[in-house]
């Protein structure tokens, strides 16, 4: 994604915008910028920036030069100009120079003292003082990239840059609806399906044209690059004569062929949902379903911050008398939402299978007692098991709280029931 000021769009009076793409016709831009970089090996970034400014003056569209240069800076290798550690150099200088060195003699004296300690010269020290600044870095190599590759990358970044300003997206797709919904959900976006397609927005969109979901929309497009048969109309918020105005930005699958397709591994025994569940006239699309005996159980996979919203969907499906389950993936620094069934980092599909068989199968098995980690309601036996495990973890408060939260239970309640006294330290619980 480029900074917004490098976005290149044509606005129409009808309220639409379209990206200005690089084609073979203007491949000169790419070859000039690539050439400038290749001939600048050994130069400071600051010097290369100056050459780019000069090149901008010679071209019709300076934004293209700036955008291409930005890509090349990102993929090229730049190295610091000094062998000394600049932070250490600064630390040593300022520890000696309590009063500003106003005369050249004072200045040299300090630099030489530091140089002596570092086995270097005063000039080495001077050069190293801010050698970690981006502008001081030296270009050491430029990757082998063709004009065509560079221009495609530029176009791709242009699309993502427009998407940063997106406030909502409407997608029509005959074959990839479910996959698009799944991607949107994973990105924390909300969706509404109807006959016209899928409308994708963020939570705040209910009251505001928030741009905070722009990055998520840009990622959505990135994921969709290899899907076929889709068309989208994006509402984008762009400045027009100093004021924000909403425009429609349209794209379809014919635009893209740049990035790798997403890989979506579906576990055995689980099937990607193709048909949405119809609830009170609304179409809700779970992620997967699994057949347990005669029952087809809908499955939602969610993340802690989306759990609350997805629980509402679950409640609606269950309200229709249909079986449905929700599982939550938590990362290392995340807490399991209260009442949720959580897994660390990824779903353990075998455990999910066991859980669902236990819950929905006619024949109850011993498995019920063996899977406390994913149960949210507790039997006395389960409590006993948990309390035993807590004893083993005591006095490691963090591990104890983590364990309880991992089970989707309330630490305060469980610790109190298990007979522990606690105190709060900040937002953390300490078991006494």
Contact set with other proteins (CB under 8 A): 5, 53, 56-63, 87, 90, 93-95, 97-102, 107, 110-111, 126, 129-130, 133-134, 188, 190-192, 201, 203-204, 206-208, 210-212, 242, 244, 279, 282, 305-306, 308-310, 312-313, 315-316, 333, 338, 424-427
Q: Which residue has the tokens 């939402």?
A: 337
Rounded to a whole number of angstroms, the minimum distance from the CB of residue 256 to other proteins is: 26
List phi, psi (to 5°) of 248. -105, 130
CA–CA dist 430, 432 (Å, integer): 6
Nearest residue (CB) to other proteins, 254 versus 425: 425
Question: What 3-state DSSP class applies to 77?
Answer: strand
> Checking phi first, is residue 396 left (phi over 0); if not, alpha (psi -120 to 50) or beta?
beta
Rounded to a whole number of angstroms, the minimum distance from the CB of residue 280 to other proteins is: 8
Nearest residue (CB) to other proteins, 31 versus 283: 283
Rounded to a whole number of angstroms, the minimum distance from the CB of residue 59 to other proteins is: 7
Rounded to a whole number of angstroms, the minimum distance from the CB of residue 50 to other proteins is: 10
Nearest residue (CB) to other proteins, 93 versus 324: 93
Question: What 3-state DSSP class applies to 114?
Answer: helix
Nearest residue (CB) to other proteins, 315 versus 392: 315
Nearest residue (CB) to other proteins, 247 versus 256: 247
Nearest residue (CB) to other proteins, 147 versus 201: 201
Rounded to a whole number of angstroms, the minimum distance from the CB of residue 139 to other proteins is: 19
- The verdict on whether omega for the bond into residue 430 sits within 30 degrees of 0, i.e. cis, is no
CA–CA dist 1, 166 (Å, integer): 13
**Three-point CA angle 286, 289, 293, nearest 5°:** 145
Rounded to a whole number of angstroms, the minimum distance from the CB of residue 313 to other proteins is: 6
CA–CA dist 413, 48 (Å, integer): 62
Rounded to a whole number of angstroms, the minimum distance from the CB of residue 396 to other proteins is: 19
Q: 191, 183 in Cβ contact below 8 A?
A: no
Rounded to a whole number of angstroms, the minimum distance from the CB of residue 308 to other proteins is: 4
**Measuring CA to CA, which residue among 58, 68, 66 is closest to residue 27?**
68
Rounded to a whole number of angstroms, the minimum distance from the CB of residue 407 to other proteins is: 19
Q: What is the DSSP string of 187-249?
A: TT-EEEEETTEEEEE-GGGGT----TTHHHHHHHHHHHTT--SEEEEEEEEEEETTEEEEEEE
Nearest residue (CB) to other proteins, 239 versus 364: 239
Q: Which residues of 180-211 are buried (b: 16+ CB within 10 A; e: fewer)?
A: bbbbbbbbebbbebeeebbbbbbbebeeeeeb
Rounded to a whole number of angstroms, the minimum distance from the CB of residue 333 to other proteins is: 8
Nearest residue (CB) to other proteins, 228 versus 309: 309
Nearest residue (CB) to other proteins, 244 versus 291: 244
Q: Counting Cβ atoms within 10 Å, is residue 408 exposed (0-12), middle (13-18) or buried (19+)?
A: buried
Q: Which two tokens stand for residue 42?
A: 């050994």
Nearest residue (CB) to other proteins, 232 versus 292: 232
């Amino acid at each position: 994604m480029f900074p917004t000021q490098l976005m290149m769009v044509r606005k129409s009076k009808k309220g639409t915008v379209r990206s200005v793409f690089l084609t073979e016709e203007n491949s000169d831009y790419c070859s000039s910028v690539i050439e400038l970089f290749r001939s600048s090996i050994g130069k400071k970034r600051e010097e290369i920036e100056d050459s780019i400014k000069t090149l901008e003056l010679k071209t019709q569209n300076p934004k293209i030069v700036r955008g291409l240069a930005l890509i090349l800076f990102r993929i090229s290798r730049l190295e610091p100009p000094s062998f000394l550690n600049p932070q250490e150099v600064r630390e040593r200088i300022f520890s000696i120079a309590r009063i500003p060195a106003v005369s050249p003699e004072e200045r040299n004296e300090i630099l030489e003292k530091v140089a002596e300690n570092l086995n270097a010269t005063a000039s080495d020290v001077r050069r190293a003082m801010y050698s970690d600044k981006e502008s001081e870095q030296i270009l050491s190599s430029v990757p082998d990239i063709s004009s065509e590759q560079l221009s495609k990358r530029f176009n791709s970044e242009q699309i993502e840059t427009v998407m940063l300003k997106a406030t909502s997206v409407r997608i029509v797709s005959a074959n990839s609806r479910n996959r698009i919904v799944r991607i949107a959900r994973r990105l924390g976006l909300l969706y509404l399906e109807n006959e016209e397609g899928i409308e994708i927005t963020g939570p705040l969109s209910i009251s505001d044209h928030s741009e905070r979901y722009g990055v998520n929309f840009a990622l959505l497009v990135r994921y969709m690059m290899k899907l076929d048969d889709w068309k989208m109309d994006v509402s984008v918020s762009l400045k027009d004569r100093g004021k924000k105005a909403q425009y429609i930005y349209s794209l379809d699958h014919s635009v893209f062929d740049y990035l790798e397709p997403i890989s979506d591994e579906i576990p055995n025994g689980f099937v990607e949902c193709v048909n949405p569940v119809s609830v009170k006239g609304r179409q809700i699309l779970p992620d997967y379903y699994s057949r347990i005996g005669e029952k087809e159980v809908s499955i939602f996979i969610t993340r802690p911050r989306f759990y609350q919203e997805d629980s509402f969907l679950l409640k609606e499906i269950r309200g229709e008398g249909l079986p449905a389950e929700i599982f939550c993936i938590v990362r290392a620094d995340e807490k399991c939402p209260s009442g949720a069934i959580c897994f660390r980092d990824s779903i353990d599909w075998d455990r999910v299978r066991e859980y669902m068989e236990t819950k929905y199968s006619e024949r109850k098995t011993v498995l019920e007692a063996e899977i406390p980690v994913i149960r949210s309601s507790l039997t006395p036996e389960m409590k006993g098991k948990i309390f035993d495990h807590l004893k083993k973890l005591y006095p490691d408060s963090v591990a104890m709280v983590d364990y309880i939260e991992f089970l989707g239970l309330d630490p305060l309640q469980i610790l109190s029931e298990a007979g522990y006294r606690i105190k709060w330290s900040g937002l953390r619980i300490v078991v006494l």
